[in-house]
Amino acid sequence: MTSENGHGHGNGNGSALPMLTKKDFSSDQETRWCPGCGDYAILATVQSLMPELGVPPEKTVFVSGIGCAGRFVYYMDTYGVHGIHGRAPALATGLATARPYRGVFLTEKGRALAQRVRLRHRLVVDVLRALGVSSEAAEADAEGIEHYVSEHTLKAFAQFLRSQR
């Protein structure tokens, strides 16, 4: 929510936004941390800092993971994503690189990784098929095997497949 009390004050970055205050970044949600929790100090500091950045709440997203600190996003009067364990940086990176009106897409690095994962999956499936496993079972079992099979074994799989041709 943008402050109505600025009346023409600048925000320090030359734009015509009204002056923002800590209140503009503070939601009406009751904070539910233990008394004395350090999260209170972090929240208060961030809410105080945000007006200095000159970016309005409606153009701001906070991303959190799980745990007590994950509730941080509810206490900021901005957009917020309460994400999953250990994935806040990935979610935030996705948000920062998202392109409006475009669906999910892979970065160059992501595409290369996806191709490696696909090849690994195909290799395991092909070995299982060569051993007589049904297509359905091979696909299902490869989903598990491909996650822990070693590079050494994968090389042996590839060698085995070549010997079958």
Exactly one of 42, 68, 84, 114 binds ligand SF4 (CB under 6 A); that residue is 68
Stretch that binds ligand SF4, among 11-19, 30-38, 48-56, 139-147 (CB under 6 A): 30-38
Residue 60 and residue 20 in contact, taking contact as beta carbons nearer than 8 Å: no
Residue 83, CA distances (Å) to 41, 72, 80, 92, 137 in order: 22, 11, 9, 10, 33
State yes or no: residue 154 binds ligand SF4 (CB under 6 A): no
Q: Taking the complex as a whole, how short is the minimal distance between the CB of residue 91 and ligand SF4, in angstroms?
A: 21
Judged by beta carbon, residue 72 or residue 157, the one nearer ligand SF4 is 72
Q: Taking the complex as a whole, how short is the minimal distance between the CB of residue 38 and ligand SF4, in angstroms?
A: 7
As a residue count, the chain comes to 165
- Collapsing DSSP to helix, strand or coil, 62 comes out as strand
State yes or no: residue 41 binds ligand SF4 (CB under 6 A): no
Judged by beta carbon, residue 33 or residue 74, the one nearer ligand SF4 is 33
Residue 22, CA distances (Å) to 33, 57, 67, 77 in order: 20, 11, 25, 10
Stretch that binds ligand SF4, among 19-27, 33-41, 107-115, 132-140 (CB under 6 A): 33-41
The Cα–Cα gap between 151 and 155 comes to: 6
DSSP 67: S
Whole-angstrom Cα Rg for the chain = 25
Exactly one of 14, 16, 28, 34 binds ligand SF4 (CB under 6 A); that residue is 34
Binding residues (CB under 6 A) for ligand SF4: these are: 33-34, 37, 39, 68
